[in-house]
Structures are given as C-alpha cells and as structure tokens.
Amino acid sequence: MSETIKVLLADDQALVRGALAALLALEPDLEVVAEVGRGDEVVEAARASGAQVCLLDIEMPGIDGIAAAAEVRAALPGVRTLVVTTFGRPGYLRRALEAGASGFVVKDTPARQLAEAVRRVHAGLRVVDPSLATESLVDGANPLTEREREVLSVALRGGTVAAIAGVVHLSQGTVRNHLSSAIGKTGTSTRAEAARVAQDRGWL
C-alpha cells in the first residue's frame, strides 16, 4: 500500500472546500487533514496537521493564495503548494510559480486530474494547466513595477490622484508618473482601463 498523502484545503468558500474534500476522499491514497478559509491560517494549520500538500485558492481574506504559497515555502520548505483557482489568468500563474507554488490548476479540472496533480506535486514535480502555460508564454512577463502595481491596485477602487497618493504615501506627481507609465505598458488610455487590464491579466 502506498503512503497516504496528507492534504490541506484553503478556500474561503465552505461549499467549494466541502466539494474538494469529498472528491479527494474518494482517492485511497489522499487524506484531507485540514481545511481553512483564510490565507493567513495556512502555515499554522499545515504545521499542526502535518499536511504535505496545500491546495490554495487565490482570492481569500487575510492574505491571498499566492502570498500563502510564499509563506509556506519560507516556513515549511518540505511542504508543497498547489494553486487551485477559478481565475485562470496567465499573470497569476507566473506569480504563483515565482512565489514557490509547485502547481497551478483551475477549479473545473476533472477530479481524477486534480488527484493526479496532488500526487505529482507531492512527488516533487511541477503541474501547470497547459492552456494557461501557453497563454503565459504568449503574454510574457508582468511589465509593471511593484510601485505601478500598488498604485493601480488602489486606482481599481476609484478615487482621485490625491486620494491614491494618500493611500500609497507618495506625492501626487509621483503617482501621476506611475499611472502614466502603467497606462503606456497596458496600451490603454485611462487609469481605470489600465487597472482593469492589469487585473484581467493577473498582474495585480
């Protein structure tokens, strides 16, 4: 009998967590040992449960799944992470892999493939949704600097340049420069469009 792989599920939607747990429970070599609804609970729950693979949603309260993957890598280097998300955005894929995730699949992946992804990640292999991998190569790397991403993230919520400057603690002139640069890099004409394009590509 092969060893049982201990799995942690992190998703802020209880229904999704329950469905994933039920699907994985059908596999004789997989055992769900912990479930959390927040990104900032992942490391502690993984440590306490002895989880070997963490399945992480991207959009969660506390910290997102990409930041959680980075925390797991830093705190528990022997534990693998697999991002399982509704949002199949190439930029997310690149950021997740840079954060140390071993895999990235979308939630409509068939149950058998998801179970196989967990096994492969546990074995030290990398698993990436093939269509996203292709898109990621076509789209290229995220062209935005960290400051441009920060300014655009605030711009997504609307507000004036003065309001954005207040949140990011920069002068209004500097904020305008960052916005102008981001608009150029996204090929858009307004900061609202630039923020939307950057979000759609998973750059924020």
pTM of the model: 0.67
What is the pLDDT at residue 1?
45
Domains and CATH numbers, the chain: 5-138 (3.40.50.2300), 146-200 (1.10.10.10)
pLDDT tens-digit map of 186-196: 888 888 889 98
pLDDT tens-digit map of 87-103: 767 678 888 888 999 99
What is the pLDDT at residue 112?
87
What is the pLDDT at residue 140?
60
Give the residues of the chain that fall short of pLDDT 70.
1-2, 88, 90, 131-141
What is the pLDDT at residue 172?
92
- The one-letter amino acid at 60: M
What is the pLDDT at residue 75?
97
